[in-house]
Structure formats: structure tokens, C-alpha cells
Amino acid sequence: MGLKEDLLKSISEASYVPYEVNGTKCTLRVWNGIDRSVWETYITKEHDTDDARALFVSLSIGDENGNKVFTKADIAELGKRDYRVLDKIIEDASALNQTTQNEIRALEKN
């Protein structure tokens, strides 16, 4: 096996944990490198914050195999949903993906 294969093997793939949203079974995703970059880019650039919750949730909810359920096309509709449910998902996904408010503030300063 070559160096590239050894390195890829040593870096675990993103994973997921079982989760429920108001009784609907799904998974909560551990972000991969691309997902993390999408979020970091979003919070370090000027954006309309109306869709911040929806973007975070879209990166975090997966199907039974951990594949993302929502696409960019779903963000506007997702953002119209109950903020309390979105915030609960964000709270749980933040712990899983190590995205604390302090970290977000530090990234915003960069």
C-alpha cells in the first residue's frame, strides 16, 4: 500500500449517531471536512443570517446511513420551520461537531 492509501486509511470517515426529530428517526452526522469548510466559510463571510440555522441543520441531519437528507435547495424551506426544533438539533449537533459559540466567535474574527 502506498503513502496516500495509508494516510486515507488512518483518517476515519465521518460517522453518525442515531437521532430522532419529534419521533422521526434519522441520524445526526459528524461532519466531514467539506461540511466543516462550508460552515466555516459561511460564518466567516458576510451573509444574510436568515438561513444560518437551516444551513447548520442541513449539514447535520442524515438518513439511516448518515447521508445528508437536505440539499442547498431545501435550506429556504427548512428555515421556515419551528426555530425551537431547529435549535435543539443545532444544540445536539454542535456538541457532536465541536462547534461551540466561542469557537464560532473566534472564527468570525478571522
Render 11-72 in DSSP notation, one character per residue.
SPPP-EEEEEETTEEEEEEPP-HHHHHHHHHHHHS---GGGHHHHHHHHHEE-TTS-B---G
Whether 3 maps to a domain, the answer reads no
pLDDT digits (tens, 9 = 90+) for 19-74: 999 999 999 999 999 999 998 888 777 665 678 889 999 999 999 999 999 999 99
Whether 7 maps to a domain, the answer reads no
> Structural domain of residue 87, as residue ranges?
14-109
Whether 6 maps to a domain, the answer reads no
Number of domains in the chain: 1
Whether 8 maps to a domain, the answer reads no
The rounded distance, in Å, linking the Cα atoms of 61 and 92 is 11
Whether 93 maps to a domain, the answer reads yes
Whether 59 maps to a domain, the answer reads yes
Q: DSSP state, 110?
A: -
The rounded distance, in Å, linking the Cα atoms of 10 and 24 is 34
Is the C-alpha dihedral spanning 93, 89, 17, 77 positive or negative? negative
Whether 31 maps to a domain, the answer reads yes
Whether 9 maps to a domain, the answer reads no
CATH code of the domain containing 103? 3.30.2220.20
pLDDT digits (tens, 9 = 90+) for 75-110: 999 999 999 999 999 999 999 888 866 665 555 555
